[in-house]
Amino acid sequence: MRSLVLAACAAVFCVGTASAMPATVANLDAHARAGGNRKDLALAIGERVFAEEWPAQVFQVLVNQVGTHVVVGMRVSGTHFHEPISRAQFDAEIEQLASDTFAAVPQAEELDIWTTVPIPVYKGEIVSGDLAKPAWRNVFTISVMRHESTAAVAARLHAGTNVFIDPTWARTAFVKAP
């Protein structure tokens, strides 16, 4: 009788385990890196974005809504590249992130992407609270509006129009294009 009960329990456990889908890496990353007052939308973007390994690592996806206005923020690493990249490859990644974001969340009006690098913190510096020193600095920023075409975003990136890029960072961050 005891072995029959154990067999039944094992069968129930196996069926329950087999029917539950394991979380994907993209799903886990999306949950860990999503924020804002519309975390559900941040998760939708994150699951799409984190399904791919980008050369410049995406750190965070934030979505905030005020009234009917939905704005997305995305933070990209300026130091932890998964592979060496050129400026053209970086720009192509930014274009694709914008396209993927608007495809994942049709109600988003704007996407703000900022690339950051850490600021050194020295012993004794205040790193939290009202007197905290910043831990990151922006080296690249762009705001993309939903109505902009991919070609328009590419042209802005190429020309540097309404784009901030720290020239010192850019000189050392990218490999020369072949």
pLDDT at 21 over 80: no
pTM: 0.80
What is the longest distance spanned by two Cα atoms in the chain? 78
User: Taken in order 136, 50, 46, 172, is the CA torsion positive or negative?
Assistant: positive
Assign 22 a pLDDT band (cuts: 50, 70, 90). low
pLDDT in tens, 147-170: 999 999 999 999 999 999 999 999
**Alpha carbon separation from 114 to 15, 27, 77, 97, 123 (Å, rounded):** 45, 22, 9, 12, 28
Mean per-residue pLDDT, 71-79: 95
* 9 pLDDT above the threshold of 60: no
In 3D space, the residue among 151, 116, 109 whose CA is nearest the CA of residue 136 turns out to be 116
